[in-house]
Every structure is written in structure tokens, then in C-alpha cells.
Structure 1
Amino acid sequence: MSAPSSTYRVQLRPEFTFTDAAGIVDYLRSLGAGALYASPVLDATTGSTHGYDVVDPTRARPELGGEEARQVLVARLASAGLTLVVDIVPNHMSVEVPKLNRWWWDVLRHGQASEHAGFFDIDWSRGKVLLPVLGEDAAVAELTVDGSGDDAELAYYDHRFPIAPGTGEGTPQEVHARQNYELVGWRRGNAELNYRRFFDITNLAAVTVEKAEVFAETHGEVLRWVADGDVTGLRVDHPDGLADPGGYLRRLREGAPDAWLVVEKILHPGEALPQSWPVDGTTGYDALNEITGVFVDPAAKPAFTRLAGELGGRTDYLAVEEEARRLVTDRILVAEVHRIAALVDGVEPEAARAAVAEVMIAFGVYRSYLPEGAAEWTGAVERARSRRPDLCEALTALDTQVRAQPGGELATRVQQTSGMVVAKGTEDTTFYRFTRFAALNEVGGDPDRFGLAPAEFHRLAAGRAAGRPASMTTLTTHDTKRSEDTRARQAALSELADEFGDAVRRWTKRRGIDEPALNLLAWQTLVGAWPIAPERLRDYLDKAAKESKLRTTWTDHDEAFEQAVAAWPDQVLGDAELVAEVEEFVGKLRGPGWVNSLGQKLVQLAAPGVPDVYQGTELWDFSLVDPDNRREVDYGVRREILERVIAGEQPEVDETGAAKLLVVHRTLTLRRERPELFTGYRALEAEGAAAGHLLAFQRGENLAVAVTRLPVGLEQAGGWRDTVLPLTSGVWTDVLTGRAVGDAPSAAALFDRYPVALLVRGDC
């Protein structure tokens, strides 16, 4: 099997099932997609809207229609010439409702004697599984016993837990004392939890998939689908949480030798996938940040830094990031750090804990993969030493033990946990504290790197073409902090930096939020997603405030502050004078945002890699972070526009987004029907006064892509003027307009209809 020509990502959920997905297959075929790329489809927690909380990996999710509906979808895809790519979750399973997870239920019932005790990463040294579900420890007095005999269960309000055979006599508290688990106050979880979890989510228990028998049980059904030809591609969630990602991926490749295999590996700028991993590439966050970066004007950095500082925000990114990561090690992942520290030989417990935390805080990437890539481990240790010379002995002991046993438990747990510290500290905390320029605050991005030069973009794209040509590329996912069109419009702010700064200063005096980071983020979000309903903005700001952990958190609430934040959207949107100002500013931003959106979309779709289109984003989509990006997609509107485009309509670049759908349709269709065009990569250089505003590249000998960048500056400088794009001699045709353009088109003529062009030499 080869990689698909492209993928179209859908978020399956009880409201959008296998049957619903089957209902859009004909639309996806007409759009040009090569594969349907589905969120996890194995049985998950009842009502789950995302599917990453798997409870039974041995069957297709009944709430999606189960096995019968899955087979209907597969057949529909096959008849349309499309394939199926599915998302799998090897790291963890949901234990939120214990009875739904039969393996977890059996472990709670039988303890270490359970045949599934080894399926979960549990520290049995205390003899019991700690379950932090009570309002407080004293609430153990509120336990009751439901049922009788073998069916009896220990109950705490809506929570139910099994009772071990022969232990059901006496009071509920006496019964509880005999169990293989201990119910405790929920606040004890971060510090005392004795099973590994997914980040700080105690309802997601880590699975020991590195064991052959566990791998077989958790992957048997999916690999059966692969063997039957129903599934041709796998997207692997969170490989950094695994004990041995490389070993896991080699085992997965053995079970799916011909499948397209991509991993949700978040690469820090400049980092490469481990060479030993038998995968086709990442899920595309690296490409996303490169593409966004080339549409950002780096000259705006001083203006946004000045604005953030004047409003009271932090501008020292590395210091903010270090503080946020330290918060994670010292207050959130406390149990994990202590468990690791206990494995360091010959070091006093507190010194070991501090050394472990310091190394994980200091990682320049998400994790190391020892013994491969030892330089990342060395770098983290050295940075830790420079920050904490008082821990030199403890750090040396930790370093020595890890290097001596790179496959040992200490090394393994440090590596598993460092990714959690980095992701939780950076993506989920720093990105909501360091809000100088939100378009850069994206998964795998570096907000301190303001924009990307075209030459660097070309270098990275050429590297992808040479090294990982089947890696996925994306602009929007279920996990991005904002959708591609919101990000593109925010990127355009870099060209209106002074004007935006003046506006934000005025708006803040009138209706500011009393927390600088959230205040600046709120104004950028308002103009980036405008027009936006107050309830959507309210939900987003509530999440942003809690993720930043500055004034309030998910667990320790500042009720007064949260109420003030909740009131802000209605106050702003109810202020007619302020709304008029915002609308006037967005009027200047909207057009450049559209130019950026079309440019970054064409670059993503035509550049090296397998492009993914996230559900609904073939039209303008100004969504924010999840769950906002899981709203229902109106496929009726999209079908209607697609039909007109297929019939030959050349839509205007306007609020309908039809021009974007044209770009998506024509590019995906060309990729599917003429894959030989999309090989190799070579930068093309424009000539003339505005050459810096034209980003272009060639694929193979007969395909060229040209897009407009920094459109505000282009217009202010007088437009394209004498700028031309020299091409290989021959007859070139713009696939988007059907017009011949010659082999040295002027930029003014090339972009007189659309700010982007997809050019084919010879027969189009």
C-alpha cells in the first residue's frame, strides 16, 4: 500500500457516527480527498465526543454504530476509491467509569491476582490502587453497598466499584478497608497517585503496551482491520508516553507492514524523528508551524513586545516557560516525579526529587530516546547543572545511572515523564501566559521565534521531500490552539502591529480584563475569530484563564475573577462604540487574513507530505481550541458550493469561503489524479521590486506553486509593480483559473484573480 494522496479528518462521536461518515463519502470523493481519516473508533467512554478515552480496544464503538456500521463505511469508501486511516491510542485507557473497562474492573476486584494486573502501569508497593475520587478523605463515611452477593458494589454517589470475593460483610467502611483499592480525596491524586496516567488526567490510566501480550490484546482488532484491507493507514497518538516508542513502532510495523504509519510526535524546531522509527512521518505540527511562520512579518516583534510589556504582560519567554514547567513538576505531576526519584540510587530523597525535576524542566525537546539521540539527554543535564549547581552530586548520580542502563526503569520513566512536563508546562500553560503574539502559540511551535524567512522555509520543505515525503502535513487538528483561518488572520496582525497596539491600548482602558496575559489574548482572539458569539468567546476565555493557572485553575477557583471573565464577552459585544471600533479594525484585517488563508492552504496542500484537511476547513473556519473545533459541520452548504465550483464557477474571495474550497478541490483532485507531479522540491525565486512578497516553489518538472505573503506591506509599497516569476520554459496553466500564464508571468497578472496560483506545465 502507498500513502494516500491526501486525508480528510472527521471527528466521530455519537452525533456523527460511522453512518454519518458514510453519508459524506461521495462529497469527499468529489472534493478530491484520497482517504477518510477518522478519530479513534474503538469503544470509548459513554458520550465521548473525541474517542481518546478508550474503554475496550477489542471492538468498534457501539455508539458509532458498531461493527456492522463500520463495515458499511469501509464498503462505501472502497466503492468510491477512497481508503480509511484511523487514529489509535496505545498509551492509555479510560477508567472514569470502572465498570465500562472490564480489564480495570477486574484489577480493582482481584488486585495483583488479576490476570490483567500487568496491563496497567501500577506501583503495587503500597498494596492497593489509590483512587482519588472522594470529595475529601472523610467522605469514606458516605460509602454505601449496592446489591448483594457477587453482584454487590461499593458506591459513592454515582461512582461504582467492585467488591473482592468474600469481602462484602460488615459496614461499607469495613468492606472498603478490605479492597484492593483505596478511595481517597481527589486532591491527593497529584501527589500520591500510584498508577501512571495521561498527563494529569487521573481518569486515563497508562497501559503497558510494551509487553507483547498487552500489545496483542490492545491491537488485535485494529490489526485485523489492517490485514483485511479495511484500514490502510494508522495515526498513533502520543508516542512519547510509551516506555519504548521505537520498540512499539517496530512491533506495530510488523503487524501492519504495508500500512501508512504516522505518529503524533511533536518536534521542536530543528528536531528530527528518530531514524530507527519505521514510520512515514509525523502528524504534521512541524509543517504547520513552518507554514504559519512564513506568513508572519518578523519586523513586528518589537511592537508586540512593547505592547505586551506596557500592558503588564511577560516578554521573557524562556523564564515564563521555566516557571510553568516548574509548576508542573512541583504541583501537578508530583507523584510521577517522586516515583522516579525513588529509583535514583544513593541520593537523599529530596535531592533526587529536585534533580529529576530539574532535568525534565531543562529539556529542549519533549523527550530523549536513549541510547539513540543521547545529545538531548546530555543537553538537559548540562542545563540543569548550570541552573542548580547545588544539585551537582544528585544530577551526576542520575546521569550516571541513566547512561549505564538506558533501558532501565529509571531511564524509561524519566523519558516518559519529560514529555508530560514539557507538553503540560509549555503547550498547556506557557502558551496561555506568554500571549505576546498568539498566532505563534501552537503545538510544537516556538513563540519566541517571530516568523520564518522564506529561505529557511524552503530548506525545511526540501528536507521533508528528501527524507519524509509521506509525512502528514496539517494546518488544523482537533488539538490545535486555533483553526488555520483564525491563525492566518492573526498572522496578518503582524503587518498592522502599530495600529493594533494603539487599538488594544484604547480597548483595554475601556474594557480590559484584569490579568495582562488573558487580556492581550482576548483582544487577539476577538479580532481573529470575529464575528464570534458571546458564549463561544466566554467558553474559550474560561479555558484560557484556567490553563494559564495565573489567577484561577481547573481545581482551585477564583470565583470572582471567573465571573468577571465570563461577563467580559457580553460587556464588550454590548458596547456599541467599542464594537464599531472592532468592526472597523477587522475590516482592515479581513482581506489580508483571506490572502494568508489561501496562501498557507495552497502551500500545505501542494508542498511535500500528505496533506490533511480538518473537517469543515475547506471553507473559512474561525474556530478556537477544543471543544470549539468539534462543532457540527454543515455539509449541505459545502456540497452546494462544490457543485458550483465543479461546474466551472470562479468564486470571489469573499466571506463565503468559496474561493478556499476551490483551492482545496483543485489541488486535492490534482494530487489524486496526477501524483507524479508532486515529487521533489525546488525553491523558485521571483524577481522585481516586490519579490519578497511572492513565495514560490516547484515540484518535479511540471508543477509550480506561487502565493502572496505579507499582503499589507505589498499594497503599501505600491503592489507588484515589475515583479515576475521566471519558470522553466514551456506552456504553464493555472489550475485554479484555467488560464495560460506563460513561463515568465508578471505577478500582477498571475494574481489578478486570486492571490495564489497552482501552475502545471503542458497538458493540465
Structure 2
Amino acid sequence: MTVPESTYRVQLRPEFSFSDAAGIAGYLRDLGIGALYASPVLDAAPGSTHGYDVVDPTRARPALGGESARHELSALLKELGLGLVVDIVPNHMSVEVPKVNRWWWDVLAHGRESEFASSFDVDWGRGPILLPVLGEDGAVAELTVEGDELVYYDHRFPIAPGTEGGTPQEVHERQHYRLIGWRRGNAELTYRRFFDITNLAAVRVEDPAVFAATHGEVLRWVADGDVTGLRVDHPDGLADPGGYFRRLRENAPGAWIVAEKILHPGEPLPQSWAVDGTTGYDALREIAGVFVDLAAEPDFTALATELGVKTGYHRVEAEARRLVTDHILVAEVRRIAALLPHVDPETARQAVAETMVAFPVYRSYLPEGGAHWGVAIDGARRARPDLAEALTVLDAFVRAAPESELATRIQQTSGMVVAKGTEDTTFYRYTRFAALNEVGGNPDRFGLGVEEFHRLAAEREAGYPASMTTLTTHDTKRSEDTRARMAVLAEVPGEFADAVRRWTARRGIDEPSLNLLAWQTLVAAWPIEPARLRDYLDKAAKEGKLRTSWTSHDEAFEADVAAWPEDVLGDAGLAAEVEAFAARITGPGYVNSLGQKLVQLTAPGVPDVYQGTELWDFSLVDPDNRRPVDYAVRREILARVADGELPEIDASGAAKLLVVHKALRLRREHPALFRGYRPLRAEGAAAEHVLAYTRSPDLAVAVTRLPVGLEAGGGWRGTVLPLPAGVWTDVLTGHDTTGDVATLFERYPVALLVRGDA
């Protein structure tokens, strides 16, 4: 197996194709990257900007250049000595445009007799497939027939052979599907979907034939040596993740395989999974957390309470998850409840819902990880003692038959409830300190201590040294640099609280959680165009589902939120205050950014650099983080850095590119230096402001943390880093150094040290 020394994630889309990726391959090699890491490359829905809506798993996406361009990219990467990691989507396929998904089209045309009927997770026992595409049920009157297709405006559906004739409505009644009002989808859907997205139908990859059909092309690329690694999207949605990964490993024995698995603190990766690790959200939580001042928690709790933002995290989370079980994933919960014997349907539904609300992790993998299932059942009993009898039946049934359909579906669905309820709802409601509200994060834990960081890093080196680590992905709520600057707020909680009080009194948003989130976002992403901030706040408001949502709009409130960025930036006095505050935290934010980046690039695991983040990147949640990247600027800065320039820490971001380049080149050219992990503890008055460790006897890393407090305390004041004996050279500057921290960080607030001529 070839484990890359690092990866560089690119978001492929029609505007950035296989050929465009080939165009930056040389730059990535020069930067120091080990493998190009691409978003899904199989054929996707028309116009898709992300590729997760696959419509044909048997061919490379034509909109990216198709098979010939894919092959040319692979050949070039091989020539340059770079690997290729591709993102695969085993859980679902897009059915938004039925005609472009020939499998789904055939299922709609032939029903259970279709050769692809077993490919999708359809509840065939409930009659025709329900397709929630109409404006309302009565819109069936607007259907027309064109040839052998049933048409509803831009939507087209097949007419089964032999069912022609009569009115369009009569033809409709003869089909293997029924078109219904879109609002009925959450409650009455007859096929499993991806989260709450009815346009993504779940695929039954637990069936070996379906696995072979959906993975055959990608596995051919692996066998040919074109693809060296696989990133597996959303394994928690699969019926049997452990079995899936065993089959994948058997068919791709030489591939590096990482799973997009969200681990809660203390939760181990399931031992039965034949993977090399996760996609790095656990590492993100740890690395970002160690740059947060834990002492600020009471101040932010007080500010949030004063402003009317709820601060009881677990209560907010339970309310959000219950919203998901009772209003969004109703069809899924009812389907599970119908499988519970000897309990009336409504009681069964409530018991299933409460169990998923109480899950301490995303899902269990019974019989493995039974303790998590037990915690969920116990939590449901405490929340709803009136359901004790039904919960006892549920618990007994699932434990006795962990391979049953009921046990399988409740585990599949719990991950959906947690993801939608926590990441996509709670994180937009519980806005006490948004730097912690990240995928894989736990906002109720205010940062991470240095010793805990060391313990977790050592565990990763011992258990999953080839696990991916990340700071920014296409799914993160904010980019690494936005988060790093936001972390500075924990060092100036009083100043920030005073500012937010003044600003809210002048131009506050009339919803407390969104208001607090908006001010944190504004200073962390400053300067930001009004349109970008408007789009972000619109999404945040709808995800929070407090005053408005994607499906139930409060148009007046949405208009007020849309006007807020222009109102704030158009208020000269207020804008000047915000700008001054942002300037106050920008420098310390740069220190945090450089520190967390060097840690991510050098700590245990395989570091991923998300597209463009080798320079400062103050992006927000998608689609903001998928904006085009200016590689001409990056090439020019890399050329200067490679030529020996030591750039200033300024708005250009060149200093960050220097850190990325030097660390990646060292890692790629001297991998033996990056084996092992031992804490290295500074000594002296400012020791708490140093995070340091060795990866081998000849490699040490040191970074600055909590820079505002460091300056306020009078600087380093004789603090030393007890380096092992020998001559140590900082790879970033080329200068020899000693253990005197003030000297060590004289040029940059981070250091990458190599001993002797190692």
C-alpha cells in the first residue's frame, strides 16, 4: 500500500475539469504535495458543482472531460510522481433528473420487474414509488403526455409499456410511481434518501451485485494504478459499513482508504473497518481546539445569555434532533417503527425517535460498539419514562437480532438524525462561540488543553498513523483561517462583549443566535463582500430553523437578514468600529493560522491541504468555500519562496505558503523524520504559550499559542525549549537556533527544526 505523504484537495466541476487539474499538477509537485485528492469524478447530475450527485457510476464524468481526460490526468500524475485519491459515493445516486440516471429511469418504467429494482432501497411493500415533485397534489391536473413520457413542466418521467392511452391523469395512475406534492416527501417517502434530500436515492451496496456494479469502474482505475487512494463518503449511511469496507479492501488491496467518519471525543474508529483512518475531522477538532483560550468560557456563556442565546447545549441539541425526527425524517422513522413487533405504531414511532435523539455518537455498529446503543436507550428512558415498555421491547429486539432490518435501519438513520440535528441545526442555534461549531466539533467543550492534545496526537500515531488530517474541507462551516481569527476572540472576551453590545444596539439582527453568529463571522472574515455575507447569513438562518427555514419561509425576516450586511457596512461609524476591531485580532489570527497549519502538516497523520488554503483563505460554509482559486498568484509566490525569500506576515499570505511549502517538502523528501511522537515542553514564565513536540530524535516542531495573552504578559521572558543536544536548524528560515524561545520565534511565530545534517 502506498500512503501519500500529503494530499491536496481540489473541487472538480465543469469549470475546473480533469484538464484544469492537470494544469496545476506541476505546481502541486513543486509545493511539496504527495497526491492530488479529487472530489467525485463519476458522471453526475447536469450542472453539478460538487459531484456527489452521481447518476452513472460506470463512467468518468463527461462534463469534466470524460475518460480520455481522466486517463491523461492520471498519466501526468504518475509521471510527476504524484498519487491520485478520489472521493467515492457508495450511499446514494441522484434522481433529480430521472432520464440521466438510466438505472432509476428503468426502475420507474418497470417497477419491481426492473433489472435495477434491487439497486435502490425502495419500500416496495407500500405500493408505487412516491415522487414528491409537484407544487401540490392537485397539480396532477397539469400533467401532459409527450410521446412515451409523462411531463410536469421541466420534469419528465417514463410511461411503462402497455399503460398508454386516456388522459395524462389516467396514464399517471397506471405507473409504478406516483407524483405527489413536494411537502409530503418528508413524511411519506417510499425510498430511503440521503439525509432529507429527496433527489438523492439510497443505493443497496450491501448487495454484492450492486457493489460490483457501482464500484467496478473505480476499482478498474485502482487496478490499473491510476488511482492510489479512496476517500469514502458517508459510510454511516450504509447498512453494514464494516462489511462494505472489508469488501472494498479485498477489491483494492493496495489502495489507501480513508472514511468520512465523524468521531465524538473518546469514540474509537470501529475496529472492524478495514480502513487507514478517517478524513480528519477528529484531528481538526483537536488542532483548532488547542489554540482556544479555555478561560474565556464563562465570559462567552454570560454574553450569550445576556443576548438571549440559549446556552444549555444538550437541551438545544435534543430540541434540534427532535425537530428532525418529528418533522424532517418522518418517513424514515415511521418505516423503522413499522418493523417493531408488539407495539402500536405511534408508540413505536416515539420510541424510535427518542432513541435516535439520545444517541451519544452518530451511530452504533452492532454487535460492535454496543455500549453506545445502551447509552441511547438509557437516555431515551430518562427523557420519556412513559415509553419505558416500548423501549425495552426495542432494546431487546435489536440486541437479539443486530443483523435484522429494524436494527440496521435504526443505525443507518441515527447518523442522519445526528448530522441534521447537530451539525446542520444546533451549530446554527448554539452560537455562544462559533469557532467550536465545526463538523466533528463539540461546542460544549470550550477548547482543548495542551496535555490532552499531546495524548490524542500520540494515540493517532500509535493507532492510525495513516489517517488523514485536515483543517478545511468542502463541508467545514468556515475555513481554517476564519476559524483561527475567530479563536482570538477567546483572548479578548471582554472587548468583544462590549463591542457586540454596542453593535447590537445599533444594528442587531432580530434573532439572538443569528445576531451573535453574524458579529463573530463579520470580524473573523473581514473584509467580506456584502453579497457573500448575505448568502451566508441566509443559509445560517434557514439551517437554524428558528425564524425561517428552507421549506417554511418568513419572508419579512429573510429580507431583514438580507439587508443586514449593507446596513452595517453602509453605517460609516459602525463599519469603522468593526474594521478597527478586526484589525485588532488580525495579527494574532495570523499567528494562530500559522501555528495550526504547521501542526497539521507535521503531527501524526496524512495532512490534506484544501484548495487554495496555502494562502490565507477567509471562506465560510459551502458554496462560499468552493470559489475559484487563483493559481497564478500562488505560483508566483511559490517561485519567490523557493528562491529563498522569507516573506513578511502580512495580508498577502505568503508567509503561510512558506510554511506549507517547507513542511510538505521536508515531509515528502525525508519521511523517516516523521515517525513517532513525543511531547516537548517549554520551561519558563510563558511556557503555556508554546506547543511543541518531536516526531523523531532529529525533528522538532514548536508553535506559538494564545498570542494576545503572551503579549499582555510581557512576551517570552526567558522561556526556553529544552531541545536535545546538537545543532538545530529552522527549516523555515534556514537559520541555526537555540532553545531560547524569543530567539527561536524571532522571525516567525512557528519553527520547524531539524538536528544536524538529518
TM range (shorter): over 0.9
Q: Which SS does the other structure have where 2:609 is aligned?
A: strand
Question: In the aligned structure 2, how far is the partner of 1:88 from the partner of 1:14?
Answer: 18
- Which residue does 2:97 correspond to in 1? 97
Letter in 2 for 1:94: S
Distance 1:737 1:61 in 2: 44
> Alignment partner of 1:578: what SS?
helix
Identify the match of residue 583 of structure 1 among 575, 579, 591: 579
Matched, 1:112 2:108: no
Q: Which of 749, 754, 759 in structure 1 is aligned with 2:743?
A: 749
Which residue identity is paired with 2:368? E
CA distance in 1, matches of 2:126, 2:7: 47
CA RMSD of aligned residues (A): 0.5
Other-structure match for 2:465: 469
Q: What's the counterpart of residue 15 of structure 1?
A: 15
Q: Distance in 2 between matches of 1:650 and 1:679?
A: 28
- CA deviation after TM superposition for structure 1 residue 75, in Å: 1.0
Once the 2 structures are TM-superposed, how far is the Cα of residue 88 of structure 1 from its aligned partner?
Answer: 0.1
1:126 offset after TM fit, Å? 2.1
Counterpart position of 1:415: 411
Q: Does 1:202 align with 2:198?
A: yes
CA deviation profile, 1:632-690 (whole Å, cap 9, x unmatched)? 00000000000000000000011100000000000000110000000010000000000
Structure 2 residue 388 is matched with structure 1 residue 392: yes
- 1:180 maps to 176
Residue matched to 1:544 = 540
Please state if 1:692 is matched with 2:688.
Answer: yes
Q: Distance in 2 between matches of 1:118 and 1:275?
A: 29
1:240-255 superposed matches below 5 A: 240-255=236-251
Match of 1:740 among 736, 741, 751: 736
The CA distance in 2 between the partners of 1:555 and 1:390, in whole Å, is 32
Could you tell me how far apart the structure 2 residues matched to 1:238 and 1:454 are? 31
Task: Report deviation, 1:492.
Answer: 0.7
Query: Does 1:277 pair with 2:277?
Result: no
- Structure 1 residues 274-313: aligned runs within 5 Å: 274-313=270-309
- How far off its partner does 1:582 sit? 0.7
Deviations 1:397-430 (A, max 9, x none): 0001001100110000000000000000000000
| C-alpha deviation, 1:613, in angstroms | 0.0
Aligned to 1:446: 442
Residues 443-471 of structure 1: CA deviation (Å, up to 9, x unaligned): 11100000100000000000000000000
Partner residue of 1:138?
Answer: 138
Is 1:515 the equivalent of 2:498? no
Runs ≥4 in structure 1, deviation > 4 angstroms? Answer: none
2:644 aligned with 1:648: yes
Q: Does 1:69 align with 2:79?
A: no
**1:350-361 alignment runs, 5 A limit:** 350-361=346-357
Matches of 1:602 and 1:362, distance apart in 2 = 37
Instruction: State the AA in 2 paired with 1:311.
Output: L
* Identity level (%): 77
* C-alpha distance in structure 2 between counterparts of 1:696 and 1:126, whole Å: 60
2:495 corresponds to 1:494: no
Aligned to 1:715: 711
Moved more, 527-536 or 75-84: 75-84
TM-score where L is the length of structure 1: 0.99
Q: Deviation of residue 127 (structure 1)?
A: 2.0
CA–CA distance in 2 between the matches of 1:665 and 1:204? 39
Determine the structure 1 residue equivalent to 2:624: 628
Unpaired runs of 5+ residues, structure 2, are none
Which letter maps to 2:145?
V
Q: Separation in 1 of the partners of 2:305 and 2:398?
A: 42
Report the Cα offset of residue 728 of structure 1. 1.1
The 1-side partners of 2:106 and 2:447 are apart by 52
Secondary structure at the counterpart of residue 23 of structure 1: helix
Deviation string, structure 1 residues 552-586 (Cα, Å, up to 9, x no partner)? 00011000000000000000011110111011111
Letter in 2 for 1:130: L
- Looking at structure 1, the residues matched to 225 and 628 of structure 2 have their Cα atoms a distance apart, in angstroms, of 30
Find the aligned partners of 1:573 and 1:269 in 2 and give their Cα distance. Answer: 39
Query: Structure 2: which amino acid aligns with 1:14?
Result: P
1:484-505 deviation per Cα after TM superposition (whole angstroms, max 9, x unaligned): 0000000011001100000000
> For the residues of structure 1 that align with 2:132 and 2:113, how far apart are their CA atoms?
22
Aligned AA for 1:88?
I
Q: Could you tell me how far apart the structure 2 residues matched to 1:10 and 1:102 are?
A: 28
Residue number in structure 2 paired with 1:228? 224
What are the equivalent positions in structure 2 for 1:335-350 lying under 5 Å apart?
335-350=331-346
Q: How far, CA to CA, are the matches of 1:78 and 1:170 in structure 2?
A: 60
Unaligned runs of 5+ in 1: none
- CA displacement 1:352-384 (0-9 Å, x = unmatched): 000000000000000000000100001110111
Once the two structures are overlaid, the 10-residue window that deviates more, 124-133 or 235-244, is: 124-133
- Residue in structure 1 matching 2:370, options 369, 374, 388: 374
Whole-Å Cα distance in 2 between the matches of residues 99 and 701 of structure 1?
A: 60
Count residues with an aligned counterpart: 758
Distance 1:318 1:277 in 2: 30
**Offset at residue 79 of structure 1 (A):** 1.1
The offset of 1:239, in angstroms, is 0.2
User: How far off is 1:276 after superposition?
Assistant: 1.3
Q: 2:599 aligns with which of 599, 603, 617?
A: 603
Q: Which residue of 2 aligns with 1:480?
A: 476
SS in structure 1 at match of 2:424:
helix
Name the aligned partner's letter for residue 716 of structure 1: A
- What is the letter of the counterpart of residue 141 of structure 1? A
Q: TM-score, normalised by structure 2?
A: 1.00
> Which letter maps to 2:309?
G
Pick aligned residue for 1:238 from 234, 257, 275? 234
1:268-325, Cα deviation, whole Å (9 max, x unpaired): 1111101111100000000000001000001111111111111111011110000000
Aligned-partner residue type, residue 317 of structure 1: Y
Partner Cα distance (2:371, 2:257) in 1: 26
- The answer for the alignment partner of 1:433 in structure 2 is 429
